[in-house]
Amino acid sequence: MIDIRLIRSNPELVKENIRKKFQDEKLPLVDEVIALDKQLRECKTKADTLRGQRNSLSKEIGNLMMQKKIEEAETIKTQVAEIAQQLEDLKELELDLPEQIRQRMMVIPNIIDETVPLGKDDSENVEVERYGEMIVPDYEVPYHIDIMESFQGIDLDSARKTSGSGFYYLTGDIARLHSAILTYARDFMIDKGFTYCIPPFMIRSGVVTGVMSFAEMENMMYKIEGEDLYLIGTSEHSMIGKFIDSITPEEDLPIAYTSYSPCFRKEVGAHGIEERGVYRVHQFEKQEMIVVCHPDDSKAWFEKFYQYTVEFFRSLLIPVRTLECCSGDLADLKVKSVDVEAWSPRQQKFFEVGSCSNLGDAQARRLAIRARNENGTYFPHTLNNTVVAPPRMLIAFLENNLTEDGKIRIPESLQMYMGGKEFIEK
RNA sequence: GGAGGGUUGGCCGAGUGGUUGAAGGCACCGGUCUUGAAAACCGGCAUACUGAGAGGUAUCUAGGGUUCGAAUCCCUAACCCUCCGCCA
């Protein structure tokens, strides 16, 4: 959510930003907000004045009562009753207008960074850089499920029986590999200076509606029946929720966490669970990084963030590229976003394994996450990025580390988490 | 799950219907004093909206209600504590 003062002072800039994102249908919202905001302030001034009158008259009644001037007090009471009536009339407007404004503010997109490439949709995202050698073996690389099954590492049939599609049993060395990758990712991030955190895996509806839009909530979140609780779709939900409506002393910034959690997603919508395997699933585990930092530092954090993911994947011998999200494909809350994509030798193309986002102060403003220095409070910047989500990254891992004779190579960095093994063999 | 007690500013804590946005203390900041420091003394010290400003409004966990007026009374919820029950 952007600062309403920006809309008041520079509506053209906000409109230009909307055009850059090819959301021209939202242009009228800007003028609507300006009009509603003006109306609200007039309404508030009026109501505040009335309340001021009521407060001072009430005090007068108190004084008169103490002096036993009952009759005079009664006269003033009738005046207050009139004011109360007028306030009652204003009350509806006072509640309705902020809601009207908020609804519009929520969908007016954040001002994107000037470096974001212009483009309509994901087809116009821009490759930034490739890392590692994109090897295409001269033998056929099997589908990841087939690789896993050849090691008795996955059981989708049983999972369908117990839980439906989009779930999986991982077993044996493949399951161990999955957990080893997470544990390695945790230590990797701790070595980078991040604080490790295990957050709640369920959050209240108040937090859910804070951290995501209604549409996202419908399409992603699983609700616990009979409780005001939802399963998190990513640890970002609980990690950012941690800071809602709080004020952090500036000297405590930056706050850099690496969090682990299982993630639960309904995946209702465009794609659904249509691919066989573990590419898109209802339940997965993820190591995440988030930071709350001073506004001056967010650009530097952003670069560091996705570089950490690149470094992590490279240490597992997986070729990756970074892909910058173009203006039209950028979610409304984001200032800038880069996806990390891993190389698939089987498909001979890259696929998404992580997403790095700088939200500027929009998320902080929306959730009243504030920082304080000697000059007062301000909204810090928030960023989040995937370190690794093993089920999906296993696809890249297995395809890139499969040897011609059907073994799985364990890169040196991971060996200590796999009991010192250099290979997984059948 | 049952019974009771609680939730006040950065922290502790007073306050049970009327100049209380909130005593007092601690912490913090500025000043006096001092060679320097400590002590002592003086002053400042919540958040947000609004107004050119003086100021005004809102906020004592949250949301409703009673009242001319609520931190204070009533209802609901969340959380914390104690006891009982249950359970990894």
pLDDT tens track for A23-64: 999 999 999 999 999 999 999 899 989 998 998 888 888 888
Query: A4-105 domain in CATH 1.10.287.40?
Result: yes
Going by their DSSP bridges, the two strands A255-264 and A376-378 should be labelled as unpaired
Nearest to A80 by CA among A54, A107, A106: A54
**Which nucleotide has the shortest C1'-to-CA distance from A57?**
B68
Give distance CA A13 / C1' B47 (Å): 30
Strand B nucleotides, any atom under 7 Å to a protein CB: 18-19, 47-51, 56-58, 68-69
pTM for this predicted structure: 0.90
Comparison of pLDDT for A311 and A63, the residue scoring more? A311
Q: How far apart are CA A189 and CA A187, in angstroms?
A: 5
Q: How far apart are CA A245 and CA A257, in angstroms?
A: 18
* Amino acid whose CA is nearest the C1' of B45: A374
Comparison of pLDDT for A109 and A68, the residue scoring more? A109
DSSP string, A260-284: EEEEE----SSS-S-SSSSSS-SEE
Q: How far apart are CA A248 and CA A286, in angstroms?
A: 27
User: What residues form DSSP beta bridges with A383?
Assistant: A291, A358
Q: Where in chain A is the domain with CATH 3.30.930.10?
A: 122-424
Give distance CA A280 / C1' B46 (Å): 48
pLDDT given at position A273: 65
Q: Where in chain A is the domain with CATH 1.10.287.40?
A: 4-105
pLDDT digits over A214-223, tens only?
Answer: 788 888 999 9
Comparison of pLDDT for A312 and A83, the residue scoring more? A312
**Which nucleotide has the shortest C1'-to-CA distance from A47?**
B57
The set of residues with CB closer than 7 Å to nucleic strand B is A 41, 44-45, 47-49, 51-52, 54-59, 61-62, 65, 77, 80-81, 84, 247, 370, 372, 376-377
Band (A150; pLDDT cuts 50, 70, 90) = very high
pLDDT digits over A228-272, tens only?
Answer: 889 999 999 999 988 888 888 888 889 999 999 999 999 887 666
CATH top-level class of A122-424: alpha beta
Give distance CA A109 / C1' B17 (Å): 48
ipTM rounded to 2 decimals: 0.82
Give distance CA A347 / C1' B68 (Å): 77
**Which nucleotide has the shortest C1'-to-CA distance from A44?**
B50
Comparison of pLDDT for A278 and A216, the residue scoring more? A278
Give distance CA A59 / C1' B15 (Å): 19
Q: How many C-beta neighbours within 10 Å does residue A257 have?
A: 21
